[in-house]
Structure 1
Amino acid sequence: MLLALATVWGGSFFFNAIAVQELPVFTVVVSRVALAAIILLMIMRLRGERLPRDRRVWVAFLGMGFLNNVIPFSLIVWGQQHIASGIASILNASTPLFTVVFAHILTSDERMTRGKFTGVLVGFAGVAVMIGMDALRELGTGIVAQLLCLGGAISYAFAGIYGRRFRTMGISPMSTATGQVVASSMILLPIMMLVDQPWTLPVPSLTAIGALIGVAVISTALAYVLYFRILATAGATNLLLVTFLIPVSAILLGTLFLGESLFARHFVGMALIGIGLAAIDGRLWRAARDVTIHPKGTPN
């Protein structure tokens, strides 16, 4: 499920890059969450399920939709107007770094360890390398766009921690996925009508419409079913490690179909973020240590 989630989420950066060439930010984001909401509501109806009506649950849906859709979707699409989809996806891979820090402060069962602290430092060094020294001299359009994507990653981190409450509330992953995109649509629709005034926009091409359908069906509806199912069993930090896998598909799609290219510092930054995430996860280091201490063929 982690690999599947990484693949479909990686596709969202590709679809965004196509749609944003013809449509403004909020129109892209509203199309994404509204179409996903319709699809998920239809699936729930076919399965004989209903969304909860409890006011407390809908307050939680609104909070999750705001943190997991409204803020990050808008910031990332905004950023993708000026930077390549691969760069946006690599910056998005910093989400677990922020999650570790915030989970240490806000939760009692996901505390910071020495390995996680080291991983955070190395990962943030990777983010700094990616953004580059230009940020110290001036905030150009490209720098601002990267910072917007980084803001989306921070919002995702808060969402991963906030979303833990649905397990204790007894809300199914399907209801959570559907409820949050319905809530997001309710928040974003009036903003889109006020800011973008979609009735004044030219009719988008079939390519742009196809991108909107792809990002809604594949990268949102399907992705969130997987997201909340994994969150219910693996925890916020483990779930968001999937963000390191996302750039692989995003970079491949951007290179093959959009003609994008990345600089050496972007790959160095991604490598540092990857090392940091491996340190946070810890399993790779533990496996290497076990092999070193107990070589194959020797008794444990």
Structure 2
Amino acid sequence: MAAGDLARLLALAALWGASFLFIRVAVLEVPPLGVVEARLALGALAIALYALLIGQPRVLAGLRRPDAALVGMVSAGLPYLCFAWGETRVASGIAAIVNAAAPLFSAGLAQVLPHRPESERLTPVRTAGLAVGLGGVVALVLVEGIGGHVDLLGLGVLLCAPVLYAVGAFLARRVFAGDTALVPAVSANGLAALIVLPFALVAGRPAHALSIQAVLSIAALGVGGTGIAYVLYYRLLASLGATGALTVTYLLPGFALVYGALLLGEPIRPAAVVALVLILAGTALTNRVGTRRRAAPLPGQAESAISDQRS
């Protein structure tokens, strides 16, 4: 791997890992819907500006497609809300571990969908991967949630996000078939921002003037964790291909755990680390077959641009 690609890979993992930190800081002062709205709008704007700079103005055409609005809400708006609300009750590191399970839910959903590609059919290796990874999710719920270390309702809401990412990936493949990856990235975030806006206004304004930490966190979440991060991913996918770009999936939870521990004082409990190892091992096994033949998933966005790992 070239030094430039390695630097972009580490920067991408650092940005996506920091998204959970930014969310946690922002929701201490801003209602979750307000955080989601800012993230969607700033992210869409940043990606649209990048598309214009590289001479791809046609990516904005997706904003005129009604079906893209559904993709945007399922793959961006609702999962972002799950993370924002969930992190009012759960540590940012735990949220990152939950996000790491997104490829598992996507692979599991593929097994019940009609006309799935040959590269996504169930194999012994993929079955083992799903079992190991979902075992990590169960361990996280049993030990951290039911065990009382983590708010169970918050953890349950967080777990809805990777499920939504999986469904969003399925919808994006059908709605954006044949489009470049920038089209769903702009339209999903942009249209979801328009839909969320009235709800964010009704949810109310912050009770007091925002601190500089909250303002910077929201700006970094939208421009950095959503906009710039996607541009880095787009560059990596072009230079490294699906297999190389997929490496970021395994790096970002570690960054998130370290950020939470160092900057927010969040404990890193052994059970959470074990759950993360199981989830990542399951993801590695699940993606071992056919990885070179399909696009790498984007954590926290849809698969062609929105699926397994927003965060």
Tell me the TM-score normalised to structure 2 length. Answer: 0.79
Kindly name which structure, 1 or 2, has the bigger radius of gyration based on alpha carbons. Answer: 1
Q: 2:264 aligns with which of 237, 253, 258?
A: 258
- The answer for the alignment partner of 1:64 in structure 2 is 71
**1:129 counterpart residue number:** 139
**Residue of structure 1 in register with 2:211 after alignment:** 205
* Pairs within 5 Å for 1:190-269: 190-194=198-202, 196-198=203-205, 201-226=207-232, 234=242, 242-269=248-275
2:184 is aligned, of 159, 176, 188, to: 176
How well do the aligned residues superpose, as a CA RMSD in angstroms?
Answer: 2.9
How far, CA to CA, are the matches of 1:11 and 1:221 in structure 2? 13
- Structure 1 CA distance, aligned partners of 2:49 and 2:62? 22
2:56 alignment partner, one of 39, 49, 65: 49
Instruction: Read off the aligned partner of 2:278 and give its amino acid letter.
Output: L
- Residue 96 of structure 1 contacts residue 241 of structure 1 at CA under 8 Å; is this kept in 2? no
Counterpart residue identity of residue 100, structure 1: A
Partners of 1:166 and 1:229 lie apart in 2 by 23
The one of 89, 93, 111 aligned to 2:121: 111
Q: 1:120 aligns with which of 130, 142, 146?
A: 130
Distance 1:16 1:68 in 2: 17
**Residue 23, structure 1, aligned to residue 30, structure 2:** yes
The answer for the alignment partner of 2:278 in structure 1 is 272
Q: What is the deviation of 1:91?
A: 1.0
The corresponding residue for 2:298 is none
How far apart are residue 163 of structure 1 and its match?
2.7
Counterparts of 1:190 and 1:29 in 2: how far apart (Å)?
Answer: 12
Deviation at 1:2, TM superposition (A): 5.6
**Unpaired runs of 5+ in structure 1?**
284-300
**Deviation per residue, 1:36-91 (Å, 9 max, x gap):** 22223333333443346768972342122112211110001111111111111001
Q: Partner residue of 1:164?
A: 173
Separation in structure 1 between the aligned mates of residue 260 and residue 139 of structure 2, nearest angstrom: 21
Q: Which is worse superposed, 171-180 or 116-125?
A: 171-180
> How far apart in 2 are the matches of 1:156 and 1:143?
21
Partner of 1:153: 162
Partner of 1:99: 106
Corresponding residue of 1:75: 82
Instruction: Kindly state the Cα deviation for residue 4 of structure 1 after the two structures are TM-superposed.
Output: 4.5
Residues 197 and 177 of structure 1: CA distance in aligned 2, closer, same or farther (over 3 Å): same
Alpha-carbon distance in 1 for matches of 2:237, 2:108: 18
The CA distance in 2 between the partners of 1:178 and 1:62, in whole Å, is 11
Q: 1:57 to 1:245 in 2, by over 3 A?
A: farther
Q: Does 1:36 align with 2:43?
A: yes
Instruction: Kindly provide the amino acid, as one letter, of the partner of residue 154 in structure 2.
Output: A
Counterpart secondary structure, 1:185: helix
In structure 2, the gaps of 5 or more residues are 1-7, 290-311
